[in-house]
Structure 1
Amino acid sequence: MVLLKLFLSYFKIGLFSFGGGLAMLPFIQEELIEKHGWINPAEFVDMLAISQVTPGPIAINAATFLGFKINGVLGSAVATFSVIFPSFIIIVTIAHFLERFKHSKYVKWVFDGIRPVVLGLIGSALYLVGKQSLSDIKGILIAIAMFYLVGIRKINPMICIVGAGIAGVLLY
């Protein structure tokens, strides 16, 4: 029964999330923490951190991580498959019809309407992660430093991740 719940939860996340992994975070939070109680908010932030530093899309990494936590390797396989399966179906369907409708003003309007939603979802994820991660001045200083180094100075994010990890060890 847990595998079916895992499949349905991640299928829904994959089906209704536009804009990539960060835009999925509010849906993931609702399903994993609020609806099923599979993890708590602190574990959610840890899952995001692990998902960000491992190669691959955050949503797939998070699904694999949580699936393993819930039901081992089989849970990982089910969660990972179910989060990518809706995208696969949608992309195949769109590719089939895109040539016919790519110049439609209605298609353009749909995408124009979806873009602000994606920004809002990413903002919601930022708020959620910020609320959990920025609980003291040390965390705030690390976040500001990383924003400056990656966003403004254009330093390689991997170097900054390693630096933030070292800062965490030294400061905490």
Structure 2
Amino acid sequence: MIYLDLFIGFLEVGFFSFGGAYAAIPFIKDVVTAHNWLDEEMLTYMIAISESTPGPIMVNMATYVGSEKGGLIGAAIATAAVVLPAFFIILLIMVAMNKFLKNRYVKAALSGLKPCIMGIILVTGVLMILKNCGLLFNGRADILTIVLTCSIAFIYFGSRLVMKKGMNPIMLICLSAFVGIVVYAF
């Protein structure tokens, strides 16, 4: 019976929680307290833990509550129940999108959006570089940060010229972390 309760309870959370994780917290609270799965204090602790661990809060909460009440099977059932609605909604959207992507007006609109999205990403990156180099808000430049940023950019774009595909983003992140540790640790 607990498995059915977990499934139905977290299926409700998955279906009716709109607006992101923080908007879902009151609904999770209602479902969890209505079934007496957690008391108020434990629920507060679990929300804090779910926010600080990787992954969506709803999935983390469902996994924890399911494992507390039904073991490994309960965790799997609660987690599956909370993600099933989103999974099926995305499937329906993809079916509809495949139909709409063949429409020439939709293609034209999406083609027009690509440069806008690229511009937003570029502006975000430039603002992050300027802020981290000290050029944006306080007006004092951190020369070391500027040199490191230029070096990493040179390595990335140089690798694109040499290897044609460019450096793997994970390799670039690891290289940047290593260089940052070496430079700022000493």
TM-score interval, normalised by the smaller of the two chains: 0.5 to 0.7
Task: State how far apart, in whole Å, the 2-side matches of 1:19 and 1:101 are.
Answer: 25
TM-score (normalised: structure 1): 0.56
Give the match for residue 75 of structure 1: 74
Give the match for residue 6 of structure 2: 6
Give the match for residue 83 of structure 2: 84
Kindly provide the amino acid, as one letter, of the partner of residue 55 in structure 1.
P
Kindly provide the amino acid, as one letter, of the partner of residue 31 in structure 1.
V
TM-score (normalised: structure 2): 0.52
Structure having greater relative contact order (Cα 8 Å, sep ≥ 6): 1
**Structure 1: where are the runs of 5+ without partners?**
104-172
Kindly provide the amino acid, as one letter, of the partner of residue 20 in structure 1.
G
Aligned-partner SS, 1:19:
coil
Task: State how far apart, in whole Å, the 2-side matches of 1:17 and 1:98 are.
Answer: 23
**Which string of whole-angstrom CA distances, capped at 9 and with x for unpartnered residues, describes residues 98-149 of structure 1?**
466799xxxxxxxxxxxxxxxxxxxxxxxxxxxxxxxxxxxxxxxxxxxxxx
- Aligned-pair identity in percent equals 40
CA contact (8 A) 1:67 1:73 kept: yes
Aligned-partner SS, 2:55:
coil
Task: State how far apart, in whole Å, the 2-side matches of 1:50 and 1:74 are.
Answer: 21
The structure that has the greater radius of gyration is 2
CA contact (8 A) 1:7 1:78 kept: yes
Aligned-partner SS, 1:3:
helix
Give the match for residue 24 of structure 1: 24
Quote the RMSD (CA, aligned, Å): 1.9
- Tell me the matched-pair count: 103
Task: State how far apart, in whole Å, the 1-side matches of 2:88 and 2:81 are.
Answer: 11
Task: State how far apart, in whole Å, the 1-side matches of 2:46 and 2:100 are.
Answer: 39
CA contact (8 A) 1:68 1:75 kept: yes
Task: State how far apart, in whole Å, the 2-side matches of 1:23 and 1:99 are.
Answer: 30
Give the match for residue 15 of structure 1: 15
CA contact (8 A) 1:67 1:80 kept: yes
CA drift at 1:37:
1.2
Kindly provide the amino acid, as one letter, of the partner of residue 27 in structure 1.
F
